[in-house]
Structure 1
């Protein structure tokens, strides 16, 4: 497998809306394996396909909370939500920045697994937050979109400075 290149804000490809996966193929297996390798290499707890410039509705989540293995969710949709929670979130596409984001504490999602079966998963706490964060990516939304315009402008300036330092 291989590690994929992660897109960084303000790359406009992060704003694209992912297309549904029509069929589970060998290519989809390869994409999900590469996404998992990338997530671990970058020390993330979740990754959306759009973050690696693959415009398909696929997310992978590190085995956290009560989950014993990595979650691979294809065409995920939130079908139930309640409660509220806010923790400091970070993102592999927005390095070195974290912010408190309002989320639902509990969600139920419907998705397709790698066997092509429709599954329903209930999640709360950190797992719920992570899934919501990654689904946002599939819809072209970043966690900083929940922040004020002033805060987003500051983040952009910091990221531009960081990029110049790295070059």
Structure 2
């Protein structure tokens, strides 16, 4: 699952919808070298590739309460930074700056978007599945928003938990929402 290596096939899984209980639970840290974690990472990528207009997924969204995220912000038309198609095990936010509001949606809450305040520049640390190699990713714009969104999933939060009020909610009208 090395970002620079071959892509394992993986199995496309169903994305859980809110209010499934696993989406509100805090995910557990996992061993990046565990074969089950490596297989789940491949499944996350396979599911991400088949989920239209989605830039990231977290393991809880496919029913696993594990600290594992996948993202590919290059799929978004307003992306600036791009770490490539990436999976991180036990990711953690190490730095955040330049906060701003932006529109985002979620594969677990189809048809709804909201204005959410997030950092526009972040640094995140994690491990690659399989090798366990430590990686640091610096991201901005859409990629930073996507990663923070996935990190929220690992803490049992949905983007709706960050919405200040009903006026921040919107029906999803097109596929270029984050």
TM-score above 0.5 = yes
Q: Could you tell me which residue of structure 1 aligns to residue 41 of structure 2?
A: 32
Contact 1:133 1:143 in 2 (8 A): yes
- Please tell me the root mean square deviation across aligned C-alpha atoms, in Å: 2.1
1:36/1:15 Cα in 2 relative to 1: closer, same or farther (>3 Å)?
A: same
Q: Which runs of at least 4 in structure 1 moved beyond 6 Å after TM superposition?
A: none
Number of residues of Structure 1 aligned to a counterpart in Structure 2: 155
In the superposition, the TM-score normalised over structure 1's length comes to 0.84
- Alignment TM-score, normalising by the size of structure 2: 0.79
Per residue, is there more helix in 1 or in 2? 1
Correspondence for 1:52 among 62, 65, 82: 62
Which has the bigger relative contact order, CA under 8 A and spacing at least 6? 2
Structure 1 residue ranges without an equivalent (≥5)? 159-167
Report 1:53-72 matches (<5 A).
53-64=63-74, 65-67=80-82, 69-72=84-87
SS at 1:17's partner residue?
coil
Matched, 1:108 2:117: no
- Aligned partners of 2:167, 2:23: CA distance in 1, in Å? 19
What are the superposed Cα offsets for residues 62-98 of structure 1, whole Å, 9 maximum, x if unpaired? 1524436311111111111111122210100000001
CA distance in 2, matches of 1:31, 1:49: 8
- Per the alignment, residue 122 of structure 1 pairs with 138
Partner of 1:18: 27
Larger Rg: 1
> For the structure 1 residues 151 and 7, does the alpha-carbon distance in structure 2 shift closer, same or farther, using more than 3 Å as the test?
farther
